[in-house]
Chains A and B, each alone.
Chain A
Amino acid sequence: QSVLTQPPSVSGAPGQRVTISCTGSSSNIGAGYDVHWYQQLPGTAPKLLIYGNSNRPSGVPDRFSGSKSGTSASLAITGLQAEDEADYYCQSYDSSLSVFGTGTKVTVL
């Protein structure tokens, strides 16, 4: 059972903005650990999308942005596109051990 909670699903029409929350506690996100985000397209390995709460690796479109506040973090996708339909996971640390969020399926309507 994950200590980081995400909504099971979010959806939006092409061009819209969607956000995914990642809720933790004082032993993980609230303890100051970075939050990272991964995108997993169907049938593929996860891909790093956001690292260090708000940084994008080279090649990740600026439609994706991350933020962190207190014991929570968020991933925002602006200008939603069909190819953004995927599962998204947050990741952080709890007592120095890595933990993943429960995952969120993004559906493009």
Chain B
Amino acid sequence: EVQLVESGGGLVQPGGSLRLSCAASGFTFSDHYMDWVRQAPGKGLEWVGRTRNKANSYTTEYAASVKGRFTISRDDSKNSLYLQMNSLKTEDTAVYYCAKNMWSGSYYAFDIWGQGTMVTVSS
């Protein structure tokens, strides 16, 4: 079964750091681009960032709202994706989802999503 399982969420104070993990199974993780998407309570989906695969030099991209504070990495030997979040703000409070990319014919869609992990930034 193709599956993504996030972990690492919790309560953190403003200015603090947190590292999220996403464990993949059921597919060849190393072949795929992987993204993080978040959803603040009662709000819509917001793209956070992407890591490409080895063939594309593991390059990363980030939304403007997190650039310079968040870092996406991956360990293909462990089938795992990570999101290092630093200098956290209250507005980073959200459920964080990892998502697998699939080629749609001319660009990428997110065909598999994890169940999400909640991050709360509060004093």
Q: Is the CB of B47 within 8 A of A103?
A: no
Interface residues in B59-80 (C-beta closer than 8 Å to A):
61, 63
Size class of the contact patch on chain B: 20 to 34
Cβ distance A50 to chain B, nearest Cβ, rounded Å = 9
Q: A38-B110, A91-B110, A97-B61 are in contact. Are A45 and B115 (CB under 8 A)?
A: yes
Point out the residue from A36, A38, A87, A96 that lies within 8 Å of B104, measured CB to CB. A36
Tell me if A78 counts as interface (CB < 8 A to partner B).
no
CA–CA, A40 to B115, complex, Å?
A: 12
Interface string of B105-116 (1 = CB under 8 A from A): 111111101111
CA–CA, A40 to B39, complex, Å?
A: 11
Interface residues in A91-109 (C-beta closer than 8 Å to B):
91, 93, 96-103
Q: Is the CB of B106 within 8 A of A51?
A: no
A100: chain B residues at CB < 8 Å are 37, 44-47
Q: Main SS of the interface on chain B?
A: strand
A102: chain B residues at CB < 8 Å are 44
A98: chain B residues at CB < 8 Å are 35, 47, 50, 108
Q: A45-B113, A57-B111 are in contact. Are A33 and B45 (CB under 8 A)?
A: no
B11: chain A residues at CB < 8 Å are none
CA–CA, A87 to B111, complex, Å?
A: 17
Point out the residue from B104, B107, B113 that lies within 8 Å of A46, measured CB to CB. B113
Q: Is the CB of B110 within 8 A of A48?
A: yes
B113 to chain A: closest residue by CB: A45
Q: Is the CB of A32 within 8 A of B45?
A: no
Please report B residues at the A interface, Cβ cutoff 8 Å: 35, 37, 44-47, 50, 61, 63, 97, 102, 104-111, 113-116
Identify the 8 closest CB pairs spanning chains A and B, nearest first: A52-B104, A103-B44, A51-B109, A36-B109, A98-B47, A45-B113, A100-B45, A52-B105
